[in-house]
Amino acid sequence: MHPLYIALTAIDVIAVVSSIGMMASWLWVLPRDQDAALHRPFWRFAGLSLLGLTLSSVLILISRSLEMSGGPLTGLPQVIPEVLQATRYGSIWWFRPPLLLALWLLWLSGLVSARRARALAIPMFILLAGVAFTRSETGHPADHGDFRLGVFVDWFHLLAAGLWVGALFCMTLVIFPVLRRKIRELRPDLPGDLFQRLSSLAGFGLGLILVTGIWTAWKQLGSWSALFDTAYGHVLLVKLGLVALLIAIGAYNRFIRLPRIRKAHGFVVASKRWANRLARTHEVDPGAAGQRREIAHCYRAVAIESVIGVLVLVAASVLLHGMPPAAMAQVPPGFGTMSMAGTGGGPGFGSASAPMRPAAGTDAPKAARSQNAAYSSKTRFSFGAPGRADEVTQTVRIRALDTMRFVPAIVHVPPGATVRFVVTDVGRLDHEFVIGDSREQLEHEKEMASHPGMPMHDPNGIRLRPGETETIIWRFPDHPMVLEYACHEPGHFAAGMIGRIVVGNPHPGT
Ligand SMILES: [Cu+2]
């Protein structure tokens, strides 16, 4: 887990949540009769949050490309087009530019008049929800396939965070500063009114967050003990603690602060006499000075809530990068430590997985020799063939992680190249590295499902025990194509343990 990737994820999450919060505030918090005063500063800030979302969309693509390639920044010009063309992440990212373009056009159109801005809010909210969906479709819930229930639950969770935390950002950064500046121009009971509406929106968001959050947490933890025994659980506990703090502050504002604002402005005060009595007994100043003071308090309260909200979103981003304990637990006990010694390779197969060497060093020549034996006895595949050590043109090092990922997860090779893959299992589970097209991977997955723990005897794959480094040499076809390398240990393929090999440029002209 690279802190930079987490930081960039956090920026994207914050950008999505605050953009949704802006539109939600415009739709459901800001009263229409105040549009003359609020439209301009609000719409300007909506533009800023759109700008943030546009930038974060670029940054998150760069971040994911770096993460997948595991490579240096200088490799980006080559990697980004490959990620966009060859990976699932790239295919979903493509939805963002048109959504953002549409959002910008609507924003420009709403800049001129408040009335038009009102009419555009709903379509803009829908477009922002679309951007949010691209986030959920590329997170852990989508590891097991598109449009799963988990993806939609995650999406609603994100939208709810926008209604609650995002609306708080809007209040802190736009509305309260304007209120403080223009207190004399505005309707006197506006602060209380705003607070009431914000509170209702936050309450609705909170309800949705709790329902979707509990469902997701249960699915991802799998057990109570995982909450206390795993790093994932600990981060989740921190997040829950922060959310509880937010709820406490929100409740204080709603049930103690809000009635005071109302009293301060005589909203619930039936008569002046009543107000005076209140003023005496509760030390409430019914004048503008008191109201100003209350607004300052509320401003501070939402500002504090916003800061905590940012921390919650950062914690959420750490969770997005972690591997849920339930996904880890899908691996049946025993598989992680299963020994293949003595069974490695079927008859006649000098499989590269047979030698059980310690992790130290790569010992490539030895593995290459065992590969050569396979080379002579193997049928050819449509996606290449085992290669010979003396033909190697390129060496690629790959790490297999227990987070069900390969690093790098995308590799570029020229057509006809013979590549030595030096694969290290850096986790505590067994992993595989099987080269093939997507059909081959699906077939292999089926095979492994019906014969779990079957020793690897395919020339296009190697199996690794924890800490081991193995080598496989592969000669790629002469024509451009996209291939995959995958792990078929139980549950790993489904959890997204797949990398892409881009051979040449499979999409000329792009
Ligand atoms: Cu694996």
Domain ranges of the chain: 3-329, 335-503
Q: Read off the pLDDT of residues 23-46 as tens digits, 9 standing for 90 and up.
A: 999 999 988 888 888 888 899 999
Contacts of 256 (CB under 8 A, 6+ apart): none
Indicate the pLDDT class of residue 146, thresholds 50, 70 and 90: low
Max Cα-Cα span within the chain: 102
Give the Å distance between the CA of 462 and the centre of ligand 1.
11
Domain 335-503: state its class: mainly beta
Give the Å distance between the CA of 429 and the centre of ligand 1.
7
**Average pLDDT value for residue range 296-319:** 90
C-alpha count within 13 angstroms, C-beta hemisphere, residue 12 = 28
Q: Read off the pLDDT of residues 99-114 as tens digits, 9 standing for 90 and up.
A: 999 999 999 999 888 8
Residue 491 is predicted with a pLDDT of 76
* Cα 265 from Cα 156, distance rounded (Å): 37
Cα separation values, 391 from 56, 219, 254, 378, 420, Å = 43, 48, 72, 17, 10
Q: Where does residue 314 rank: exposed (0-12), middle (13-18), buried (19+ CB within 10 A)?
A: buried
Give the Å distance between the CA of 491 and the centre of ligand 1.
8
The answer on pLDDT for 254 being more than 60 is: yes
Residue 184 is predicted with a pLDDT of 73
Residue 356 is predicted with a pLDDT of 34
Give the Å distance between the CA of 232 and the centre of ligand 1.
19
Contacts of 65 (CB under 8 A, 6+ apart): 76, 79, 80, 83, 410
Residue 125 is predicted with a pLDDT of 95
Give the Å distance between the CA of 420 and the centre of ligand 1.
20
Q: Read off the pLDDT of residues 329-348 as tens digits, 9 standing for 90 and up.
A: 554 443 333 333 333 333 33
Other beta carbons less than 10 A from residue 336's beta carbon: 17
Residue 493 is predicted with a pLDDT of 83
The answer on pLDDT for 452 being more than 70 is: no
**Average pLDDT value for residue range 211-238:** 87
Give percent of the chain above pLDDT 90. Answer: 31
Give the Å distance between the CA of 490 and the centre of ligand 1.
8
Give the Å distance between the CA of 25 and the centre of ligand 1.
45
The answer on pLDDT for 149 being more than 90 is: no
Nearest to 221 by CA among 107, 319, 289, 95: 319
Q: Which of 209-213, 364-368, 382-386 has the lowest mean pLDDT?
A: 364-368
Give the Å distance between the CA of 54 and the centre of ligand 1.
35
**Residue 485 gets which letter from DSSP?**
E
Residue 167: phi, psi to the nearest 5? -65, -35
Give the Å distance between the CA of 252 and the centre of ligand 1.
48
**Average pLDDT value for residue range 86-99:** 89
Mean pLDDT across the chain: 79
The answer on pLDDT for 137 being more than 50 is: yes
Give the Å distance between the CA of 406 and the centre of ligand 1.
9
Give the Å distance between the CA of 496 and the centre of ligand 1.
9
The answer on pLDDT for 416 being more than 50 is: yes
Give the Å distance between the CA of 185 and the centre of ligand 1.
64
Give the Å distance between the CA of 106 and the centre of ligand 1.
46
286 touches 294 (CB < 8 A): no
